[in-house]
Amino acid sequence: MTLPPTDQPDGLPERQSPAGADAPGADAEAGTWHRLLPRFVAGLVLALVVFTALALFADLRELGDALATFDWWLTVPIVGLTLLNYGLRFAKWQLYLDRIGVRGLPPRLSALAFLSAFSMSITPGKVGEIIKAVYVRRLTGTPVSRVAAVIAAERLTDGLAMLGLAAIGLTQFSYGRPLLGLAAAAGIGVVVLLRRPALLHRLVALLGRLPVVGPVVARLAHHVEHFLDASNTLYAPRLVAGSVLLGMLSWFAECVALFIVLVGLGQEASWHLLLVATFVLSVSSVFGALSFLPGGLGIAEASITAMLILLVTDPAFTRGDAAAATILIRFATLWFSVLLGLGAVVLLQRSLRGRKDIPAVTVGTASSATGPT
């Protein structure tokens, strides 16, 4: 996902806090929430439609029987694996902030800012994740466009990680090979392009001379500079490789969670079932992301259900089982993350409300190091 390189998300006008032109305040945060709320509500409505359609496809009786036979104590390791995914992704977030030069941000506030984006997981293309850049701006003064480069790098390396996991399954399954190949080529192409800042700057200069878009490009020029400068640091080859490997490890935790869901629905634990779970969750996640629908809703659920029906070889595995597995894994990942994100927002708001003593944070030049530590 490419996020808009602007210090005011979604075109909101810049509004300064009373502390001065450079002091981060709550206006951008409040304005961003105001603009994103309708998208959040639209995501909830779409989710209701999707799960209703899924229940009708599965047959309510079959779905009910499958959920009734599920070993519910398995929700503990399933949620634990989801939290492991979030913990590893937070480590990448911290690494990226360090690389773009943010220093001294308290880990607790950094974690809450990171988790706050989950509250907007059901906005189209996850564009609502820009909210965590707004929080970092308020805490540190770092331009939103600079932190947006971190968010874009997270999404891109996560996508490449999911493609890497899907590639493991492609040795046995052929589902979606052309689209996955195109997605991998596009992702690698973006990484290569963002490592060519001189070329991108020339492109921006060329767009700035065009009669229609020129004034807009000129107005956003310094935001683009922040975005490209941070991106040039974040896409260093060793850092990208380390981030993708970390992403494969973190997202594999959720693949294992789907494996446990299937076992809880009566499937025999085996390496083949783990391979199926890994392939299904990774491919459906890629398809959902490429759809740019809120949280991949509809596309992800349809992909998970259809691939489980196709790839689970047990003849006793029904459409109701597939739908139940889809509902359980989506609640354990997507909807659990939304609830966690909303809780983080509440805690972050409490931490920031009325505070005048947020410590100064050094925002320096991006580190020249090219590899993960």
Q: What is the DSSP string of 225-249?
A: HHHHHHHHHHT-HHHHHHHHHHHHH
Output DSSP code: residue 22: T
**pLDDT confidence bin for 262, thresholds 50/70/90:** very high
CA 94/CA 98 separation, integer angstroms: 6
Q: What share of the chain is helix, strand, coil (3-state, %, to 5)?
A: 75, 0, 25
CA 98/CA 325 separation, integer angstroms: 39
**pLDDT confidence bin for 10, thresholds 50/70/90:** very low
Q: Is the model's pLDDT at 204 over the cut of 90? A: no
pLDDT for residue 128: 72
What value does the mean pLDDT take over residues 298-323? 91
Q: Is the model's pLDDT at 68 over the cut of 60? A: yes
pLDDT for residue 350: 84
161 falls within a domain: no
307 vs 204 pLDDT, higher one: 307
213 falls within a domain: no
Output DSSP code: residue 363: B
Can you read off the two tokens belonging to residue 6? 């602007």
Domain that holds residue 50: 26-141+242-352
What value does the mean pLDDT take over residues 257-281? 95
Q: Is the model's pLDDT at 29 over the cut of 70? A: no
pLDDT for residue 252: 96
**pLDDT confidence bin for 277, thresholds 50/70/90:** very high
The closest alpha carbon to 6, from 166, 217, 181, 204, belongs to 217
CA 332/CA 325 separation, integer angstroms: 10
Output DSSP code: residue 269: P
Domains of the chain: total: 1
111 falls within a domain: yes
Q: Name the least confident of 35-44, 194-203, 216-225.
A: 216-225
pLDDT (tens digit, 9 = 90+) per residue, 317-365?
999 999 999 999 999 998 899 889 989 988 988 888 755 544 443 333 3
Output DSSP code: residue 171: T
pLDDT for residue 354: 56
115 falls within a domain: yes
Q: Is the model's pLDDT at 304 over the cut of 50? A: yes
CA 300 distance to own-chain centroid: 14
- pTM (2 d.p.): 0.79
Q: Is the model's pLDDT at 75 over the cut of 70? A: yes
CA 65/CA 55 separation, integer angstroms: 12
The answer to whether 144 touches 25, Cβ cutoff 8 Å, is no
The closest alpha carbon to 128, from 25, 219, 38, 51, belongs to 38
Measured CA to CA in angstroms, residue 289 lies from 55, 123, 218, 327, 337 at distances of 23, 11, 31, 18, 16
Measured CA to CA in angstroms, residue 160 lies from 171, 187, 289, 348 at distances of 17, 7, 12, 31
CA 124/CA 39 separation, integer angstroms: 7
What is the percent of the chain with per-residue pLDDT over 70, rounded to a whole number? 72
